[in-house]
Amino acid sequence: MSEDNSAESLLSHALGRQRAAFESDPYPTLGQRRDRLDRIARLLKEREQEICAAVSRDFGHRSLHETTMLEIVPLMSALRHTRSHLKRWMKPERRGRSLEFLQLSNWVQYQPLGVIGIMVPWNYPVFLALGPLIDILAAGNRAIIKPSELVPQTSALLARLIAEYFAPDEVTVIEGGVDVAAAFSALPFDHLIFTGSTAVGKKVMAAAAANLTPVTLELGGKSPTIIAPEYDHASAARDIVFGKLMNAGQTCIAPDYVLVERSRMDRLVEALVTEIKRCYPRQTSATQYTGIVGERGHERLLGGLQECHDRGVRVVSADIALPQTGFSIAPTLVIDPPVDCRLMEDEIFGPILPIIPYDTLDGAIAFIRARPRPLALYLFTGNSEIERKVLAGTISGNVTINGTLLHVAQNDLPFGGVGPSGIGAYHGLDGFKRFSHARGTTKVRIFNPARLAMPPYGRLTEFL
């Protein structure tokens, strides 16, 4: 008989094996969970060099510094946080009871869900595979990871490393192209977390719906930045350049465009150029600036810029030395582009930053409200009334005030989108709960009050 080696068959086999292991051990102890977390930490510490090298090859170029800072350090921090809080998170959570039920006790126990699928994009291929894994293992689950086909070196390395540090019935990696990803999303997981684009997120949710598999969707979008009229634009420029040019703008929460008071727009452009030159001087930029993943992504970004040129938009490109390998695009500012151009309609996901002038703060808020709810919002202000107004007037997945990107590194904050930028949040306690079943439990301690309500009726009404 011939063996069935189709992707579907391999996937069902992997899921079946993990589910059987889960059924034989459905509530791992604190010690087991900590041991799994410790193995992620060991993997990262012992294999950091290999990880940085693989990521750099996939990106054409990405500096060791950037991969360590953006992928390894936040994972180690999340591991420390989770490890030290896990005992408390696993404890049953006492809940209140109403007067008529004083004889009972109520609590919530967070139970593992089972086997969870993790679908990973290419832009942070380690952080977005192992970040969810930390929360998933802390919550006592098992996991199958599907990395992106656009980062084949990192994907192959992850598969190899996970197989070294974990048994295949604990955590495993399945590699493959879009066909495998589509089959993966159709598996009857106990939960599926997908990080990627909104367009593919819709397909994944539709596939998961056939199995009633609950999903967490970590999607993209255009994250706006508002500089309030009173805020020092040079100081804002410093933080914006940091958030925008990390990973060459290929960050889901990168500032996508900046809203600035019309009278200060030119001064902001100058300050941004100065800051770009300070961060990426010609002597170091070729080794410190990250490449663009994939020819298609590169062409998409160039196409967006070409459209701006064709429509007479002012474009300011920073003169930096680019990496020698792969594809790259210099940091580029696009000044006051029309709102119907591609760069203002689609998520940019590259080192291009549109600057949009506003006449009033209300106008800036209305601009954001008129667009799909973004994953992140950045506000620069020292004025508490402006802060209150912007926070009350907008909806976004997360917010950082007077900085960029920082919220994603806070272990005790939920991270996620809203509406088209995502469903459900994770990280820390929120991740532990996201990948658990909150089982509400009621226990009769001495006397069951329901006995007063049993038929034949009559006594209860007297009692009440």
Q: Are strands 415-416 and 425-426 parallel, antiparallel or unpaired?
A: antiparallel
Q: Which stretch binds ligand NAD (CB under 6 A): 26-34, 95-103, 165-173, 174-182?
A: 174-182
Residue 275 DSSP class: H
Q: Using alpha carbons only, give the angle 316, 322, 326 rounded to the nearest 5 degrees.
A: 120
Main-chain dihedrals φ then ψ at residue 197, nearest 5 degrees: -80, 160
Among 69, 178, 206, 460, binds ligand NAD (CB under 6 A): 178
CB 337 within 8 A of CB 344: yes
Could you give the string, one character per residue 378-417, with x where binding to ligand NAD holds by CB under 6 A and - elsewhere?
---------------------------------------x
Known catalytic membership, residue 218? yes
- Interface with ligand NAD in residues 54-83 (CB under 6 A): none
Among 28, 132, 140, 196, binds ligand NAD (CB under 6 A): 196
Sheet strands side by side (includes 93-95): 93-95, 104-112, 436-444
- Interface with ligand NAD in residues 217-246 (CB under 6 A): 218-220
Q: Are strands 376-380 and 398-401 parallel, antiparallel or unpaired?
A: parallel
Among 197, 274, 383, 410, binds ligand NAD (CB under 6 A): 197
Neighbours of 385 (CB within 10 A): 9
Q: Which stretch binds ligand NAD (CB under 6 A): 102-110, 214-222, 258-266, 453-461?
A: 214-222
Q: Which of 218, 261, 275, 347 is flagged as catalytic?
A: 218
Nearer to ligand NAD, 22 or 257 (CB): 257
Angle of the 73-90 helix axis to the 127-138 helix axis, nearest 10: 10
Cβ-in-10-Å burial (0-12, 13-18, 19+) of 321 comes to middle
Contact between 210 and ligand NAD by CB under 6 A: the answer reads no
Six-digit token string for 445: 């301690």
Q: Which stretch binds ligand NAD (CB under 6 A): 56-64, 117-125, 225-233, 256-264?
A: 117-125
- Is the bond leading into 323 cis (omega within 30 degrees of zero)? no
Which residue bears the tokens 């210099």?
Answer: 330
Q: Which stretch binds ligand NAD (CB under 6 A): 44-52, 115-123, 261-269, 329-337?
A: 115-123
Among 59, 89, 110, 122, binds ligand NAD (CB under 6 A): 122
> Applying CB under 6 A, which residues contact ligand NAD?
119-123, 128, 146, 148-149, 178, 181-182, 185, 195-197, 200, 203-204, 218-220, 252, 347, 349, 375, 417, 422
